[in-house]
Amino acid sequence: NKPHENDIALKPEVAKPKLPPMFKVLLLNDDYTPMEFVIEVIERFFNKSREQATQIMLKVHTEGAGICGIYPQDIAETKMNQVVSYARQSQHPLQCIVEMA
Ligand code: TYC
């Protein structure tokens, strides 16, 4: 009792719950932006406590860069643009970048 040759076994398509690709938002160190301003930026745009924001700022200051948060691409890019625009309004050279996580 042979299977019919048109009975090709197709792998059933399983609906995978797909997570969006995630992107890191980083601050870069510079010699001019005041530490207090950087702490306020991290609190305001990345919803961190004063203590968390201070730790992140010090990491950026000593290591050159630090992650403020990880988000889907559109949110990560919006945060980067908000940080840069706020820093420029305040005439600070603070740099913010997005990287694939
Ligand atoms: N290096 C700066 C200073 O000594 C402080 C600073 C920290 C600047 C983090 C930028 O992303 C930064 N005033």
Tens-place pLDDT, residues 20-59: 999 999 999 999 999 999 999 999 999 999 999 999 999 9
- CA 71–ligand 1 middle distance (angstroms): 23
Whether ligand 1 lies within 6 angstroms of the CB of 25 is answered as no
Q: How far apart are CA 77 and CA 71, in angstroms?
A: 9
Determine which helix (DSSP H) or strand (DSSP E) holds 11, and give its type and residue range. none
């870069």: which residue's tokens?
Answer: 28
pLDDT at position 9 is 67
Distance 74 CA to ligand 1 centre (A): 26
Beta strands 65-72; 95-100: pairing state: unpaired
Q: Does ligand 1 have an atom closer than 6 angstroms to the CB of 54? A: no
**CA dist., res. 84 & res. 93, Å (int):** 8
pLDDT at 7 over 60: no
What is the pLDDT at residue 36?
98
Q: What is the mean pLDDT of residues 71-85?
A: 98
Enumerate the β-bridge partners of residue 71. 23
pLDDT band with cut points at 50, 70 and 90 for residue 10? low
Residue 101 has pLDDT above 90, yes or no: yes
CB 18 within 8 Å of CB 37: no
Q: What is the pLDDT of residue 5?
A: 46
Question: Is the pTM above the cut of 0.90?
Answer: no
Number of the ligand 1 atom closest to the C-alpha atom of 65: 11
**Candidates 25, 35, 41, 56: which one to mutate for ligand 1, based on the most atoms within 8 Å of Cβ?**
35
